[in-house]
Amino acid sequence: MLRRLACFLVADAVGYSAKVEADEASALASLSATLAVIDAALMQHDGAVFSTAGDSVIATFETSVDAVKAALDIQKHLSGCDGNVLQLRIGVHFGDVADYGDTLLGDGLNIAARLEPLAPPGGVLISGVVADQIVGKVEDDFAPVGKQQLKNISRPLELLCWPVHAAHRYRRRKLVRKWPVAIAVLAMCAAALGWVMRPVPQKTAKPLRDVVAVLPFQTPEGPSADRIIADGLAQDLTIRLAEVSGVSVVPSSLAFSVTDHGLAAIRAAQSLGARYVVDGSVHSREHVLRISVELIDGAKGTIIWAGAYDGTMPQLVEFRDRIVEEVATGISGQITEQDLDRLRGSGTDNPDAYREIILGRQAAAAFSEEASHLAERHFRKAIDLDEGYARAYAELAAIYAIRLENGWTVLSVPDEEKALFFADKALSIDQDLWLAHYAAGRLHSISSKDDFSKAEIHLERAMSLQPANDDARIYYAALKTFQGKADEAVAIVEPILATHPNPPFWYYLTLGNALFHVENHDAAEAAFNQCLRQMPSSPYCLRFQIANFGALGREDDALWLLEEYGMLGFDTSLSGILDLLLLEDLAYKKNIEGALRAAGLSD
């Protein structure tokens, strides 16, 4: 068991969802500017970011003085900005954390997570222990708000707030307890800290795969709007390069984990397991756009190709296509006419339609129901601008698949029909569009008709078009489990996890589900725990871990997770969970129902 004393700062934006709904581009720019302020304060006061999720940030400090000074600097800086940043609530607490195997517990996490939603907008709420440690070391005054009872904390705690005039809000009314939010933040803290605090095993360098990774492009000294274009361009280059024969790519979700551009190309390539690395920058000023790109050999650290593109924003699509051609040629030596025809068939010459795709993917990355609707609006607008844009239809189908998989629908059958229409439309324009086959495979596997045979055909086609893309293979493994072939799923997933440098959460979910059905429950628990470290609020991971605990005879652990699952707004009854499971095999259905009953669930 490991223990550590630290001071924890939890920050979250006020009313961010409403701002996104009103003006998404402006909200994203404000978020980028706000995160820059936070980063600067953490750097100045020796803080470290443990986790971020959308508009939330969790950081740790060695001392309470550093944490409070950082919190005050953040709030003062934001309050002095001219409306282009977000307003934050910040909670700070000092305490210990203890590592009990796969669970991280301690006041440092629990209380900091519960203080943040109670802090005044634009202010800071600290615990009494923090106040004692900063006496005479911080110039600003904090006003006591009295002892407060926090949920699941046995003793009342003395709390103090800044600015001092906000103290009246605690005296005039009871604290508003936004516990679901606090618990979600706490889970995120536990996940991030659990990963960081464990001793890191020494790994031997993995051989580099013959694939290319497009890193997130830099935006040196440019306006915050450049960040949206830069991320969208890097993501789109990844998708477009994946459509070129002879070129295999690392998914953007993995490549974007490399955020330190100070890393040498060899180290970035090693961390991603990729032979080739594409790095670049985007900068715009008034109506002028400049894009710089390099293709680097990650094994040698040498530049294979470099290019610079100067023009105006309407030329963005043209520049992107030229970059794809140059990178593909640099890797494979040539790009065929068939490749060029495919890129033209699934692409668009309309820069505004292309920009909508970028904004849609940016929204979808937030992975929430609200984000999926924002993404849909952008993809539909792209179609309005270019009705022959195959990629836009495929993106719509994919966002509907995510929505259906997570139960973010009211009328599921009409949504299924619309989603399948979008996938079919994309394929009617470009029958070799990888994303369209991938979306169609997912949709057929989760539709009310459970057409697993069609799902299998589309996923196999997606894998043939992009054999190096692990996402399609992992989802194909999930399909095998749906069909009652969990042993085949395990055989597919385990080699991928053994060679993948940084698997996303749902890879572990797929493995855990398959291991559960082959009755390797200890290994399944480890897989689900890893899934929850990366995505603490994943309903899928929670549902299957609850069942797995039931199979292991650990009813108390199962009921604790069930309470968390209910706080996310899901039905905690036996039938409510069974209705959301995707299983064709009757024996598997009976198996998981028995485990859920053993976990204490009933109708």
Question: Residue 181 pLDDT more than 70?
Answer: no
pLDDT in the model for residue 152:
62
Residues in CB range of 449: below 8 A, 6 or more apart: none
Q: What are φ and ψ of residue 133, in 5° steps? A: -80, -15
DSSP string, 127-169: EHHHHHHTTTT-SS--EEEEEE--TT-SS-EEEEEESGGGGHH
Question: Residue 256 pLDDT more than 90?
Answer: no
Query: Which token pair is 457?
Result: 């055909």
Question: Residue 345 pLDDT more than 70?
Answer: no
More confident residue, 156 or 381: 381
Query: Which token pair is 418?
Result: 């619309």
pLDDT in the model for residue 97:
67
CA end-to-end span of the chain? 39
> If one looks up domain 2-197 in CATH, what number appears?
3.30.70.1230
Q: What are φ and ψ of residue 308, in 5° steps? A: -130, 140
List where CATH 3.40.50.10610 sits in the chain.
Answer: 209-334
pLDDT in the model for residue 205:
44
- Candidate from 172-186, 191-205, 574-588 with smallest mean pLDDT: 191-205
Q: How confident is the model at residue 102 (pLDDT cuts 50, 70, 90)?
A: very low
Cα 216 from Cα 238, distance rounded (Å): 10
Q: How confident is the model at residue 210 (pLDDT cuts 50, 70, 90)?
A: low
Helices 316-332 and 337-346 sit at what angle, rounded to 10 degrees? 150
Write out the H or E segment, with its range, that includes residue 77. helix 64-79
List where CATH 3.30.70.1230 sits in the chain.
Answer: 2-197
Average pLDDT of the chain?
Answer: 80
Q: Where are the alpha helices (DSSP H) in 200-311?
A: 225-242, 252-255, 265-272
Highest mean pLDDT among 75-84, 189-198, 279-288, 385-394: 385-394
Cα 460 from Cα 202, distance rounded (Å): 36
List where CATH 1.25.40.10 sits in the chain.
Answer: 347-464, 469-603
Cα 369 from Cα 17, distance rounded (Å): 11
Burial class of residue 307, CB neighbours in 10 A (0-12, 13-18, 19+): middle
Average pLDDT over residues 25-44: 85
pLDDT cut 70: percent of the chain above it: 80
pLDDT in the model for residue 151:
67
Q: Does domain 347-464 have CATH number 1.25.40.10?
A: yes
- Angle ∠(346,351,357) on CA atoms, nearest 5: 60
Cα 563 from Cα 566, distance rounded (Å): 5
| Chain centroid, CA 83 distance in Å | 27
Query: Which token pair is 127?
Result: 């615990």
Question: Residue 510 pLDDT more than 90?
Answer: yes
> If one looks up domain 469-603 in CATH, what number appears?
1.25.40.10
Taken as a whole, the chain contains a residue count of 603
Q: How confident is the model at residue 130 (pLDDT cuts 50, 70, 90)?
A: very high
Write out the H or E segment, with its range, that includes residue 587. helix 586-598
pLDDT in the model for residue 228:
76
More confident residue, 306 or 236: 306
User: Strands 274-285 and 209-214: what pairing?
Assistant: parallel
Cα 440 from Cα 400, distance rounded (Å): 10
pLDDT tens column, 403-418? 888 777 765 678 888 9
pLDDT tens column, 38-49? 988 998 898 888
> If one looks up domain 209-334 in CATH, what number appears?
3.40.50.10610
pLDDT in the model for residue 93:
92
Residues in CB range of 579: below 8 A, 6 or more apart: none
DSSP string, 379-443: HHHHHHH-TT-HHHHHHHHHHHHHHHHTT--SSHHHHHHHHHHHHHHHHHH-TT-HHHHHHHHHH
pLDDT tens column, 284-342? 877 788 888 888 887 777 888 888 888 888 888 788 888 888 887 787 666 666 666 65
Question: Residue 206 pLDDT more than 50?
Answer: no
Q: What are φ and ψ of residue 442, in 5° steps? A: -65, -45
More confident residue, 240 or 422: 422
pLDDT in the model for residue 488:
94
pLDDT in the model for residue 461:
92
Q: How confident is the model at residue 278 (pLDDT cuts 50, 70, 90)?
A: confident
